[in-house]
């Protein structure tokens, strides 16, 4: 497979356009943006920098397709066929898609293969298979009336997604929205548009009618804002940072009160008790739970809370694993952590490390930019001992930086774990079943892993509490975001 990857990475990538109404179109204003590869800092290609009028056009195409009904009114079994074809096409082009995505955002290829095309194909298949098994309801009314509850597609869904795992996260929104019969306008992040543009092509090849799926690329502050403020978008599904999530709520309030679903950041606690079933396994999984994709994972276990009796031994084990990880060229199958997605993000990550030192944190390993000679953006996996009041214990770095905090008792662990404005993910390592269940009950987070970290699938929801968001991707529950409940009240 390495041979094929080595070939695919050399292929030139043509300048990219917008995908609107089933056709490739340049931006009305002719503006473009360079795509810089984080692998070596070279310019890969350009994408269109859409303006508000491009967004208008995409929304109009989506609305027209919705009203026409070729998709929105198609029998669920018909929609299922096309969604399954999309999944098959993603599988067929999996390696090409994975390499394209890695050239764009720097995720290590071994992970990208599973988490990007692999996961996206599975998500399209999951919602394809689900959609002809979702029934309406008959309300338990009095005998002389019939109350029917229909699940109707809503209309035009905008999806705005981040640069980490664009295909996986894109599919989490696009697949259920399409399955439910909606039209979609997708805006990828500036630094990870290429695979989602290719997805648009595959959707067309699979037979998705024109205008049902549109992709507008460009700057968040321009095309993203235009989507947020648009009067003809019914639902906005977002994954990204808290500050942008806040803006989207404001845009909704200032425009048409579109529903806004937010999947935001995290500062997830990974709590290790001295009675963890295997300390070695816990250390290994904890290290990979933060450092895979160089920490650019929303659910990354970025706060490691360790029971004081094993704090030193455990932290050293994690630091040793971190220091021994194979870093570098993300297109090598053996690489364990690839590039930081952009120079801006790398500077942010290094800034967090500098600030931690300035605040008195103790560096166990890492902290430095590496492989600068490649022209790419790489940082060592970094482990700091911190106190709960330090910036690194509170703010999401979204990079390869782990903060370690000791605790004394279960109550102490819970207090520190919940002392955050976020509530996305968490983990607890213990052999004590009752304690595991107490922690599952009491940690305020959308997911609590027990004796593992990460690794869920489409069958379970992913969503945050507190300032980590208000919606859930994945599982049958995600379909609820993309349907209206409509009542028919019939006098008999």
Whichever of 211 and 240 has its CB closer to ligand NAD, that residue is: 240
Instruction: Please confirm, yes or no, whether 298 is among the known catalytic residues.
Output: yes
Whichever of 366 and 471 has its CB closer to ligand NAD, that residue is: 471
What is the closest distance, in whole angstroms, from the C-beta atom of residue 201 to ligand NAD in the complex?
A: 20
Question: Which pair of structure tokens corresponds to residue 226?
Answer: 């235009």
How far apart are the C-alpha atoms of 50 and 222, rounded to whole Å?
8
Radius of gyration of the chain (CA): 23
Whichever of 398 and 453 has its CB closer to ligand NAD, that residue is: 398
Whichever of 145 and 344 has its CB closer to ligand NAD, that residue is: 344
Give the DSSP H/E element, type plus range, for residue 450.
strand 447-450
Question: Which pair of structure tokens corresponds to residue 457?
Answer: 């699938």
What is the closest distance, in whole angstroms, from the C-beta atom of residue 236 to ligand NAD in the complex?
A: 9
Whichever of 76 and 454 has its CB closer to ligand NAD, that residue is: 454
Whichever of 82 and 448 has its CB closer to ligand NAD, that residue is: 448
Active-site entry in 108, 116, 190, 263: 263
- Short-list 486, 489, 475, CA closest to 172: 475
What is the closest distance, in whole angstroms, from the C-beta atom of residue 221 to ligand NAD in the complex?
A: 5
Question: Which pair of structure tokens corresponds to residue 354?
Answer: 């500098």
157 and 183 Cβ atoms separated by less than 8 Å: yes
How far apart are the C-alpha atoms of 293 and 108, rounded to whole Å?
6
Tokens 């990219």 sit on residue: 16
DSSP string for 403-421: EEEEESSHHHHHHHHH-SS
Tokens 């690794």 sit on residue: 455
**What b/e sequence results for 230-242 when a residue is b if at least 16 CB atoms lie within 10 Å of its CB, and e otherwise?**
beebbbbbbbbbb
What is the closest distance, in whole angstroms, from the C-beta atom of residue 11 to ligand NAD in the complex?
A: 25
Interacting residues toward ligand NAD by CB under 6 A: 160-164, 169, 187, 189-190, 220-221, 224-225, 228, 239-241, 244, 247, 263-266, 298, 396, 398, 424, 462, 464, 469
269-272 vs 447-450, strand pairing mode: unpaired
Contacts of residue 432, defined as CB under 8 A and 6 or more positions apart, other chains included, come to 273, 275
147: β partners: 489
Whichever of 5 and 159 has its CB closer to ligand NAD, that residue is: 159
- Short-list 382, 350, 344, CA closest to 369: 350
Instruction: Please confirm, yes or no, whether 203 is among the known catalytic residues.
Output: no
Q: How far apart are the first and last CA of the chain?
A: 66
- Short-list 16, 358, 353, 349, CA closest to 192: 16
Active-site entry in 298, 307, 396, 410: 298
Give the DSSP H/E element, type plus range, for residue 171.
helix 166-179
How far apart are the C-alpha atoms of 391 and 410, rounded to whole Å?
24
Active site residues: 263, 298
């Amino acid at each position: 497979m390495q041979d094929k990857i080595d070939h695919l990475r050399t292929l030139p990538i043509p300048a990219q356009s917008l995908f609107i109404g089933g056709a490739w179109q340049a931006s009305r204003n002719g503006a473009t943006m360079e795509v810089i590869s984080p692998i070596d800092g070279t310019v890969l290609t350009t994408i269109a920098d859409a303006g508000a009028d491009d967004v208008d056009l995409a929304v109009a195409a989506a609305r027209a397709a919705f009203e026409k009904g070729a998709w929105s009114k198609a029998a669920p079994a018909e929609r299922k066929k096309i969604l399954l074809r999309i999944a098959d096409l993603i599988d067929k082009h999996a390696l090409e898609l994975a390499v394209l995505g890695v050239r764009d955002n720097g995720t290590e290829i071994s992970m990208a293969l599973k988490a990007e095309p692999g996961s996206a194909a599975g998500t399209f298949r999951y919602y394809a298979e689900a959609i002809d098994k979702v029934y309406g309801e008959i309300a338990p009314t009095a005998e002389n009336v019939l109350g029917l509850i229909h699940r109707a597609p809503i209309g035009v869904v905008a999806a705005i997604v981040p640069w980490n795992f664009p295909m996986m996260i894109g599919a989490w929104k696009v697949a259920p929205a399409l399955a439910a019969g909606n039209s979609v306008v997708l805006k990828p992040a500036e630094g990870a548009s290429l695979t989602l543009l290719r997805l648009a092509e595959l959707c067309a090849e699979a037979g998705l009618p024109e205008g049902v799926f549109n992709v507008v690329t460009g700057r968040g502050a321009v095309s993203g804002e235009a989507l947020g403020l648009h009067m003809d978008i019914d639902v906005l599904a977002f994954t990204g940072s808290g500050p942008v999530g806040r803006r989207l709520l404001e845009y909704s309030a200032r425009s048409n009160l579109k529903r806004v679903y937010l999947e935001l950041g995290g500062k997830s606690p990974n709590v290790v008790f001295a009675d963890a079933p295997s300390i070695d396994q816990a250390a290994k999984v904890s290290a990979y739970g933060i450092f895979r994709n160089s920490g650019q994972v929303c659910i990354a276990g970025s706060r490691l809370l360790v029971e004081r009796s094993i704090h030193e031994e455990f932290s050293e084990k994690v630091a040793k694993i971190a220091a021994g990880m194979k870093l570098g060229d993300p297109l090598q199958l053996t690489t364990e952590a690839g590039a930081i997605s952009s120079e801006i993000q790398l500077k942010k990550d290094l800034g967090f490390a500098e600030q931690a030192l300035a605040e008195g944190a103790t560096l166990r390993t890492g902290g430095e930019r590496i492989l600068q000679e490649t022209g790419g953006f790489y940082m060592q996996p970094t482990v700091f001992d911190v106190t709960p009041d330090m910036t690194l214990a509170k703010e999401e770095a979204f990079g390869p930086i782990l903060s370690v905090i000791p605790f004394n008792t279960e109550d102490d662990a819970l207090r520190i774990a919940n002392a955050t404005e976020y509530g996305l993910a968490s983990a607890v390592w213990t052999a004590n079943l009752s304690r595991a269940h107490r922690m599952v009950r009491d940690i305020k987070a959308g997911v609590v892993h027990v004796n593992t970290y990460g690794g869920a699938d489409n069958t379970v929801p992913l969503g945050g509490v507190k300032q980590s968001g208000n919606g859930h991707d994945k599982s049958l529950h995600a379909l609820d975001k993309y349907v209206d409940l409509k009542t028919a009240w019939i006098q008999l």
